[in-house]
Structure 1
Amino acid sequence: MTQQLKQDITLLGGIGQLSTTLLGTGLFMIPAIAANLAGTWSLWAWLILFIAICPIALTFAILGQRYPNAGGTAYFVRQAFNPKTERSVAWLFLSVLPVGLPAAITLAGGFGHALLPNFLSHGIGFLNGHYLAELLTIVLILTITLMGSKSSSHFQTLIALSIFALVGVFFWQGHIGLDDISMPSLNSSAILPIGTALAVMFWCFVGIEAFTHMGEEFKNPQRDFPIAIILGCFVAGFIYWACSVVILKFHAFEPNISAHSSIPWLSEQLLGNKLAAVITVIGYFACFASINLYTQSMIRLVWSQARDYKPSSRLTHLSKRGVPTTATYAVAVVLFLSITFGHLTNLDLETLVKLANSVFVLLYLLAMLSAYRLLTGWAKYLAGFSTLLCSVVFLCLGWSMLYAISIFAVLILPWGKWLKKGKPSLSNTP
């Protein structure tokens, strides 16, 4: 009998999961970076980005509505192409696990370290404080995952509401008026700064492809999944834009303030030191929300691949709460080994994030190509336009796109056929 994940995710829970994933670490860095690159024109950049991401998000929404499956993009590719390409895409997505997620966990650990009690902040034995905070983050992810998708979606909805409240308080205490939210005039000199800012800001909407892995767990995927994607993107886009308005008014960006310090600095200026701990908690859980969904999406991808190709494997086992327990522990072990290796070797996390992002954009592109083959009517034209947009973004990545192309090329090669040809036939054996 084919095992199925529990359908526990509601519309509100889906919106909370996606919006917090898109905000993630980006809220605490990207608006300040965009303001530094484009000044007040960054408000136009956010609007342009949101308009550009809408067709891509809508295409994902239609795919998830018509093909709800824990395999996500890999499943879409199988429907459009073949199982061989599906497995290559699945491994391509999983290749982010040892590089992208550890980098995000390290960023979350920076906030988490500040929350540790004094006797733990300096570490225990050979475990320094930052490494201990990262380990505790993995334990928290493991705990929430084992509680089930319903608990996870409720938790991330609370995080989304907290972030929304924080930006609302900034608006109120910062006395934001009509003059502050008016869009600046555009001219030819704005093209380059806006383009440069957009190249950075696109990463704020990387996460939709991971959300597609949760489509099978919606109570009503045909109705709620596409609405959750559209509203989740709208909520995240609005919060990014609103945060940028406050940052621009108070000049909370370089060279005045470093990008990662912009939100804490604003909090201190507008609210005083009393809420410093609250900001740290929100910062930690905003980072955590993004890591949590990506971890869960990878767990479900591992489980779906085992369910489809090795149904007798232990990886297909589900707990009473409908959680792929063995797959969860397997992913947690890889995360542990990856962050440990990173600490031992002092890897350049910024480079690793760039390489991981190239994989994400390639996944977007492959999903849009699949949609173009699968969909009909106006949806097919939408998918074609989205494919063009993703192609432009992929080319803008420069040298880092070679990383994703190289991995996918190696995965798609017919290694099985070559190995069979290389083996001597039994009939020819003396």
Structure 2
Amino acid sequence: MSRSSVGHPSRSATRQLSVPQGVALYVGAVLGTGLLVLPSLAAKAAGPASLIAFSVLVLISAPVAATFGALAGRHPDAGGPATFALRAFGPKTSAVTGWWFYFGTLAGMPAASAFGATYVTELIGGGRTTTMLLAAVLVLVAIGVNLFGVHLSGRVQFVLTCFLALLLAGAVVLSAPKADTAHLQPFAPHGFAGIATAISLLVWSFTGWETVTHLAPDFRRPKRDLPLATGISILVIGVLYLAVGGMTILVLGPRAADTQAPLAALLGEGLGTSVRVVAAVIAVVVTLGVLNVFVASMAKLGAALGRDGALPRWLGKGSQGGDVPRRSLLVVTVGTAISFVVAILTGFELEQALRAENACLIGIYLVAMSAGVRLLPSGGRQWRFAVIATVLVFGVLLLACWYLLFAAVLAAGALIYLKFSRRSDARER
């Protein structure tokens, strides 16, 4: 594997991210746009038993996050999980893993940005077209921030995350006096099937651990900083998710399944008034935080895949210095625009698009956790975490059902591209 050009800094000056910025990036990526809508979708699927789904995913995310942190610390490269797969299983698995993230995320960008745009549309009025236009604006802002490099992106992320944490804590504290345990009955109106559906939906809320691995080379001391940032982030994210999910059920009761903006409803209960403006601000902050990290990670990954031959090598050129690769960022911009056009022309079902992208992300997680079993020191604590995470993620994968077809199509595309690109390289030689 080439160690040149992309993502592996040769000069300490390129390593600009600190532990606090790493925590901000993790929290922004994981405590993402799903927090705006998914508590309601989970409540609709499972009733109060959605709290079980939240708890399960918090428990699963701990060993998963720890494994990602350990791998990224030991193998800091812009390829992230694709690099782990390359080291553990070879170029074919690496290409598939990279395509899952790169193209799966591109396909899901309208969904990710529409989460926050929905809140703004509720405030200013308008329909689906307005929501999609606002979503596109949010993506453009994130792309604009990343044009100036990962250092500015990290600083912006730190400010956004601090502001978000304060707003979420305020929503929980202000609404807590109106919590009612009577809202826990009936606890599981749709049985185990409802809980399983809620888990498959909430997977989106707990993805993002893989995203920061693409930025590992930009940390000052990856081997120390990434595991530390990961551990702090697990604690912060777990507490905030359980608090928001719990208050959604205890405060809103049956209304939790009906509202499209649960955070706005919680703030309304706490303040005794309409707080759509505050809710829209939270939505914009959350969405920009997620998009900021994903755009940076996708740009880094695209260049790394170009370097390793899983995408056109043009993407990997001119990417020295550890900053956001401009060519790959251009492709991300164009690809996102195409995704928006397709979403607008064909109709856009948020839940279905979400679960299709989730299938890709779960596949990435399974490959990365399996790579951890092979790459981390056998018998050690990190290795044991990787074994546990592999078993848990495989269980979650089964819940994706037929949405795995989307991941299968991307996998086939990656393998076909790899086969023909090698033939082309051989002819050129």
Shorter chain as denominator, the TM-score bin is: 0.7 to 0.9
Corresponding position of 1:361: 362
Distance 2:51 2:57 in 1: 10
| Preserved contact between residue 253 and residue 259 of structure 1 (Cα < 8 Å) | no
Residue equivalent to 1:144: 145
Write the letter of the residue equivalent to 1:168. Answer: A
Unaligned residue ranges in structure 2 (runs of 5+): none
Q: Tell me what 2:390 maps to.
A: 387
Q: Distance in 2 between matches of 1:363 and 1:292?
A: 20
Q: Is the 8 A contact 2:217 2:322 kept in 1?
A: no
Q: Corresponding residue for 1:280?
A: 280
Q: Distance in 1 between matches of 2:119 and 2:164?
A: 15
Q: Are 1:55 and 2:55 an aligned pair?
A: no
SS for the counterpart of 2:220 is: coil
Q: Distance in 2 between matches of 1:418 and 1:71?
A: 19
**Residue in 1 that maps onto 2:15:** 7
CA-CA distance at 1:213 after TM superposition? 0.6
CA contact (8 A) 2:109 2:336 kept: yes
> How far apart, CA to CA, are the structure 1 residues paired with 2:129 and 2:201?
32
Q: Are the counterparts in 2 of residues 252 and 262 from structure 1 also a CA contact under 8 Å?
A: no
C-alpha contact (below 8 Å) 1:9/1:219 kept by paired residues: yes
The alignment's C-alpha RMSD in Å is 3.7
Partner of residue 161, structure 2:
160
Distance 1:414 1:109 in 2: 35
Would you say how many aligned residue pairs link Structure 1 and Structure 2? 415
Superposed, which structure 2 residues align to 1:193-204 within 5 Å? 194-204=195-205
Structure 1 runs not aligned, ≥5 long: 426-430
Question: Residue 153 of structure 1 aligns to which amino acid in structure 2?
Answer: G
Q: Tell me the alpha carbon deviations over residues 25-66 of structure 1, each in whole angstroms, 9 at most, x when there is no partner.
A: 221222233344444444444333222221111111111111
* Change beyond 3 A, Cα 1:266–1:320: same
Cα separation, 1, equivalents of 2:111 and 2:288: 12
Match runs of 1:25-424 below 5 Å:
25-113=33-121, 129-176=130-177, 194-254=195-255, 258-273=258-273, 275-309=275-309, 313=314, 315-318=316-319, 322-375=323-376, 376-378=378-380, 379-412=382-415, 416=419
**Distance in 2 between residues matched to 1:195 and 1:346, nearest whole Å:** 27
Return the alpha-carbon distance in structure 2 between the equivalents of residues 305 and 357 of structure 1: 21
1:242-297 Cα offsets, whole Å, 9 max, x none, are 1123222322554x662422211222232244743222011122122222222211
Q: Distance in 1 between matches of 2:173 and 2:159?
A: 21
Q: Deviations over 1:281-335 (max 9, x none)?
A: 1112212222222221111011123344599846432488833122212211111
Instruction: Specify the code of the residue in structure 2 equivalent to 1:387.
Output: T
Most deviating of 106-115 and 351-360: 106-115
Code of the aligned partner of 1:18: Y
Please tell me whether the aligned partners of residues 115 and 281 of structure 1 are also in contact (alpha carbons under 8 angstroms): no
Q: Distance in 1 between matches of 2:42 and 2:144?
A: 35
When residues 281 and 412 of structure 1 are mapped into structure 2, their CA distance, relative to the original with a 3 A threshold, is: same
Shift of residue 115, structure 1, vs aligned partner: 7.3
Residues in 1 aligned to 2:158 and 2:254: alpha-carbon distance in whole angstroms: 29
In 2, are the aligned partners of 1:38 and 1:194 still within 8 Å (CA)?
Answer: yes
Find the residue that maps to 1:29 and give its secondary structure.
helix
- For residues 113 and 327 of structure 1, the distance between their equivalents in structure 2, rounded to whole angstroms, comes to 31
Task: Give the TM-score normalised by the residue count of structure 2.
Answer: 0.84
Describe the SS at the equivalent of 1:219: coil
- Provide the rounded CA distance (Å) in 1 between the counterparts of 2:28 and 2:417: 39
Based on CA coordinates, which of the two structures has the bigger radius of gyration?
Answer: 1
- Write the letter of the residue equivalent to 1:294: F
Which stretch of structure 1 is more off in the superposition, 379-388 or 396-405? 379-388
Q: How far off is 1:140 after superposition?
A: 0.4
Question: Structure 1, residues 226-256: CA drift from partner, whole Å, max 9, x if none?
Answer: 12222223212211111123222322554x6
SS, match of residue 397 in structure 1? helix
Question: What TM-score, normalized to structure 1?
Answer: 0.84
Q: Percent identity over the alignment?
A: 26
Counterpart of 2:398, as a letter, is L
1:58·1:229 contact (CA, 8 Å) conserved in 2? yes
Does structure 2 retain, via aligned residues, the 8 Å contact 1:15–1:228?
A: yes
Q: Is the 8 A contact 1:32 1:253 kept in 2?
A: no
1:334, 1:115 → 2: CA distance? 29
Counterpart residue number, 1:428:
none
Q: 1:137 to 1:174 in 2, by over 3 A?
A: closer
Distance 1:325 1:41, change over 3 A: same
CA distance in structure 1 between the partners assigned to 2:390 and 2:177 by the alignment = 38
Q: Which moved more, 1:410-419 or 1:224-233?
A: 410-419
